[in-house]
Amino acid sequence: MSEPAPSLCDVEAVQGTFDELGRHLADVTFCVVDLETTGGSAAKGSKITEVGAVKVRGGEVLGEFQSLVNPDEVIPAYITVLTGITNQMVIDAPRIAEVLPSFLEFARGTVLVAHNAPFDVGFLKHFSSALAIPWPGFETLDTATLARRVLTREEVPNCKLSTLAAAFSASTTPNHRALSDARATVDVMHALFERLGPLGVTTLEEVSTYTAKVKPEQRRKRHLADHMPEAPGVYLFRDAADDILYVGTSRNLRTRTRSYFTKAETRTRMGEMVMLAQRIEGIVCATPLEAQVRELRLIGKHRPPYNRRSKFPDRLSWLKLTREPWPRLSIVRAILDDDADYIGPFRNRAAAESALTALHDSFRIRQCTPRLAAKSRSSPCALAEMGHCLSPCDGSADPGEYAAEVERVRLAMTGDPADLVAAIRSRMLDLARTERFEDAAVWRDRLTAFLRAVVRTQQLRELTSIEEIVAAGPHPQGWEVHVIRHGRLAGAGILPHGVHPAGWTDALLATAETVVVGHGPAPAATVEETETVRRWLDSPGLRMVRGAWQTPRESAARHLTPFEQASASWQELQQPG
């Protein structure tokens, strides 16, 4: 439940992140590091004998770090032959407990680079842990991995540091001494960056995700994203006929759309889509939530061929309790304005059928599909003969008794299904006592499917029943404010720091969309839009500006968690091994 707050001016904004900003390589400070060790595995007892590092930014060397390290053990002879580091050289050197804090301070705030980074960074992290020194959580870049992605076998026979240094005419020849190898790695790194520049790979994020698997033709289309702004919004890929191929959303339109031409795209369909694209359209949105909602609406409206999710918001399964002289349950694909009771939507028809079975086996309402008159004289079905149906078909059912049974079903669907839960739990326990565990699991899954639908419907109605809510969440520039009417996003904007919220909010409300209410659990928007808005309302740091919403105490949600946990545990037990 979100509580009203008197003011937006007394809460500190959340700092933004670099997740999608795209840092240009010239602006990033790199710390290129190399280690010499007594062996290949810190976990198996190998020690560090030397640390060398070079700090660079924009091609300029900012500083160097070098120190021998006393490993407190004899250096193997073959290591001495390889590196030239002898026992005599390290006898007076500091221990790693002294060297490591100094190196971490030198490297703080940089991106760690190494040739075969898992080796060097693995040693550093191992001894940080062993010495209880907090690891700063560096981003890392591996020049060996990058070289394998950039270079071909025709250019270099392998991606060893010595091979690459020679191929790129590095100013320093690597010689298995830490500082020399770090200097050589700096030259290799810059040479690889120069190779990537003409391909349009100019940011750290693009370098980190670069792969040669992206076709050259795909890279050449990168100019399609040049006009995109660094702002949140929705992007649309269009073909030669200007038809929409794909709709997506991002907090940074420029970074995201450029990634389609540089990143490894494991989805074959996306590579195919990019090759067909002739234009990218960007729609800037005030907030990420507005972008998410616009994306859903555009996908639902245009149904682009390369979008898989959210294309058919009308293809949902609902469970309906009809309004007729002798009501019954039915699985339907649409909600009508017929005063019937609905729960859902279900993830698929199978889940809807499981929930239907749970109700049919717990209540004695009819399961036949014909519409029955108030007075019917048909032959009774087998269920009626077995006592599983009150038998309105043959005219023997008491209208009052049948209406009471229908009300029990309606309460389970729209209120607190405690009686149904208790009945099915009792049945599950009886089955378990006779060691019919799989049958008990079937009933558990039926009840879980039913409860999920009830909870989903109740959560939708909690929000869609409210005429208007104005809520605000922290934003680096102030507050992102949304107007929500009957579960539909009607307005969005950024309230800057220092601006009084009252007048600004009035202006936002005046320009917000007028929402026409329909019928059903989500009367003014798609279910997915309302649930997206609801998730945002549950986000940390939210403040209610006008209006409020809350979850009723007596709802189905309190029953669902134990059954979901039991289902998850059972599925885990079924896993092989």
Indicate whether 526 pLDDT > 80: yes
d(CA 346, CA 455): 11
Phi-psi region of 45 (alpha: psi -120 to 50; beta: other; left: phi over 0): left
For residue 564, what pLDDT band results from cuts at 50, 70 and 90? low
Give yes or no for residue 115 having a pLDDT over 50: yes
Note if the bond before 576 is cis, omega within 30 degrees: no
**Across residues 517-522, what is the average pLDDT?**
91
- Residue 123 or residue 12, greater confidence: 123
- Looking at the predicted structure, is the pLDDT value of residue 17 above 90? no
Considering only residues 561 and 86, tell me which one the structure prediction assigns the higher pLDDT: 86
- Res. 259: pLDDT tops 70: yes
Q: Please check the confidence at residue 370 and state whether its pLDDT lies above 90.
A: no
pLDDT at 22: 65
Give the pLDDT band of residue 177 (cuts 50, 70, 90).
Answer: very high
What does the DSSP 8-state code read for residue 370?
S
| Overall average pLDDT of the 290-313 stretch | 90
- pLDDT at position 173 is 95
The verdict on domain 213-302 having CATH code 3.40.50.970 is no
- Tell whether domain 25-208 is in CATH 3.30.420.10: yes
pLDDT of residue 385: 65
Residue 205: which pLDDT band, with cuts at 50, 70 and 90? confident
Domain ranges within the chain, ordered by starting residue:
25-208, 213-302, 317-455, 467-546
Catalytic residue among 126, 176, 190, 302: 176
Amino acid at 407: E
Q: Among residues 64, 466, 107, 535, which one has the least CA distance to residue 296?
A: 535
Task: Calculate mean pLDDT across residues 208-224.
Answer: 75
pLDDT of residue 404: 94
pLDDT of residue 497: 92
Section 118-124 average pLDDT: 95
Out of 19-28, 187-196, 319-328, 533-542, least confident range? 19-28
The answer on pLDDT for 5 being more than 50 is no
> Do residues 113 and 185 lie in contact, with contact meaning Cβ atoms separated by under 8 Å?
yes
- Quick one: pLDDT band at residue 263, thresholds 50, 70, 90? low
- Are 121 and 137 within 8 A, CB to CB? no
pLDDT digits 0-9 by tens, 453-494:
999 999 999 999 999 999 999 999 999 999 999 999 999 999
With cut-offs at 50, 70 and 90, classify the pLDDT of residue 150: confident
Say if strands 111-114 and 29-37 run parallel, antiparallel, or are unpaired.
Answer: parallel
pLDDT of residue 4: 38
Tokens (6 digits) for 332: 């339907």
Nearest alpha carbon to residue 104 among 129, 134, 126? 134
Backbone dihedral region of 374: left (phi > 0), alpha (psi from -120 to 50 degrees) or beta? alpha
Alpha-carbon Rg for the chain, nearest whole angstrom, is 32
* Range name among 91-100, 154-163, 363-372 with the lowest pLDDT average: 363-372
pLDDT at residue 222, rounded to an integer: 82
Q: Which two tokens stand for residue 221?
A: 């289309």
At 108, give phi and psi (nearest 5°): -55, 135
What pTM, to 2 d.p., does this model score?
0.68
Mean pLDDT of 481-510: 95
176 is catalytic: yes
Other CB atoms within a 10 A radius of the CB of residue 148 amount to 15
347-366 average pLDDT score: 92
The overall average pLDDT reported for the chain is: 87
**How far is it, in rounded angstroms, from Cα 76 to Cα 86?**
9
- Average confidence (pLDDT) over 323-333: 93
Q: Phi, psi at residue 276, to the nearest 5°?
A: -85, -20
Cα(228)–Cα(250) distance, integer angstroms: 12
What pLDDT is recorded for position 568? 55
Residue 10: is its pLDDT beyond 50?
Answer: no
